[in-house]
């Protein structure tokens, strides 16, 4: 304790500063620094400080108290705004990533889903549709077989929009030749 003041008295303000720094780091990582700048500018207390500075009716001690109250309020407000923006940004970032990987809306581990989705795409891309169009059908049959096994293992019902039996493939796309 220094000069009769308990350092823990500043916990709320310290918490605000910590929350601000954490949120700023998150927003910078998400590439949303401009949003952080806007929020900081929005809470600009300079006009309120100017009013206090121009006050001729009160003592310097009174002004110090007024500055301190205003500053604490501004920091708490900024912490709340930046934390909210960071949380929203993080959620949006996760959604964007899920869309990019083609796994948006699918339950399960994000990393595993993304890897599976990439592997599936690689397998399809590796097929020569002109020379071996039957491989695409084989791949679909395998996929449905594995999915059926998974559903049985986990006692899940089959989605109604998926055919019970693999349907024959349509004619493969033909690449026009000159």
Residues in contact with other proteins by CB under 8 A are 3, 5-14, 17, 20, 24, 28, 33, 36-37, 40-41, 43-45, 49, 52, 61, 63-65, 67-72, 74-75, 78
Return the number of the residue (78 or 103) whose C-beta is nearest other proteins.
78
> What is the closest distance, in whole angstroms, from the C-beta atom of residue 62 to other proteins in the complex?
8
CB 125, min distance to other proteins, A? 37
Q: Which is nearer to other proteins, 59 or 161 (by Cβ)?
A: 59
Choose between 6 and 122: whose C-beta lies nearer to other proteins.
6
Q: Which is nearer to other proteins, 64 or 162 (CB)?
A: 64
**Which phi and psi (to 5°) does residue 128 adopt?**
-90, 100
How far apart are the C-alpha atoms of 93 and 148, rounded to whole Å?
Answer: 32
Q: Quickly list DSSP for the chain.
A: -BTTB-GGGGHHHHHHHHHHHHHHHHHHHTT-HHHHHHHHHHT--HHHHHHHHH--SS-HHHHHHHHHHHHHHHHHHHHHHHHHHHHHHHHHHHHHHHHHTT-TT--S-HHHHHHHHHHHHHHHHTS-TTT-THHHHHHHHHHHHHHHHHHHHTTPPPPTTS-SSPPPPPPPP-----
Q: Shortest approach of other proteins to residue 19 CB, angstroms?
A: 11
Cβ contact 20:80 at 8 Å: no
CB of 156 to other proteins, least distance (A): 43
* Residue 96: CB minimum distance to other proteins, A: 20
Token reading at 11: 């916990």
**Comparison of 26 and 101: residue with beta carbon closer to other proteins:** 26
């Amino acid at each position: 304790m220094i000069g009769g003041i308990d350092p823990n008295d500043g916990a709320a303000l310290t918490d605000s500063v910590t929350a601000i720094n954490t949120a700023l780091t998150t927003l910078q990582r998400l590439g949303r620094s401009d949003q952080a700048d806007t929020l900081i500018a929005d809470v600009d207390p300079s006009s309120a400080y100017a009013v206090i500075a121009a006050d001729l009716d009160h003592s310097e001690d009174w002004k110090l108290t007024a500055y301190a109250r205003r500053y604490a309020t501004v920091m708490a407000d900024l912490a709340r705004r930046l934390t909210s923006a960071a949380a929203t940004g993080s959620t949006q970032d996760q959604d964007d990533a899920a869309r990019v990987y083609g796994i948006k809306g699918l339950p399960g581990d994000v990393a595993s889903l993304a890897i599976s989705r990439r592997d599936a795409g690689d397998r399809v891309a590796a097929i020569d549709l002109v020379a071996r169009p039957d491989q695409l059908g084989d791949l679909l049959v395998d996929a449905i077989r594995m999915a059926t096994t998974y559903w049985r293992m986990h006692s899940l019902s089959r989605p109604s929009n998926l055919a019970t039996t693999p349907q024959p493939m349509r004619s493969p796309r033909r690449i026009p030749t000159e």
